[in-house]
Amino acid sequence: MVQSREDLVKWSLQKAEEYFSSAGLNFEASRLFPAAEETFRAIETSLEALLFHQGIKSIEYPGKDKNFTGRLALQFLIRDNLVNTHKISRDVQNKYLEVASALHTAGYVQGRMFSKSEVKSYLKAAEDILTLVKSIVKA
């Protein structure tokens, strides 16, 4: 298990890079749905790394009766700790939510296909977000 905040940030960035690399390979092989999924994971893990860098210890958000965990908690943490504190722009959050929404709805729509241009735009966003997070973490 990861021992320190710095190790957690490094581990998250390494995973984000692995997801991004995998997304690129899937895209080149015209496996667009897996490419979109891996692209989302790259974006998500990059933002988690930034949250860990900001001092968040776990992806949990307090609720009225119990703590939220998982992706819903992550969305709240991104909003409160990164967007509202101006660590990232609302555009970055919106791109994260756009990709998340596309994947979520694809799970409910039989035969949903991603276009090459759509996945390419997601890959570009993932690359931009990963670069942004690396620049903040390394600064």
> What pLDDT was estimated at residue 1?
47
Q: Which residues contact 127 (CB under 8 A, 6 or more apart)?
A: 20
> What pLDDT was estimated at residue 106?
83
Q: What is the pLDDT of residues 66-80, one digit of tens each?
A: 898 989 999 999 999
> What pLDDT was estimated at residue 113?
85
Distance CA 46, CA 16 (A): 6
> What pLDDT was estimated at residue 2?
55
Distance CA 73, CA 133 (A): 19
Domains of the chain, first to last:
5-138 (1.20.120.330)
Axis crossing angle, helix 32-53 with helix 90-106, rounded to the nearest 10: 140
**Which stretches of the chain score pLDDT less than 70?**
1-2, 139
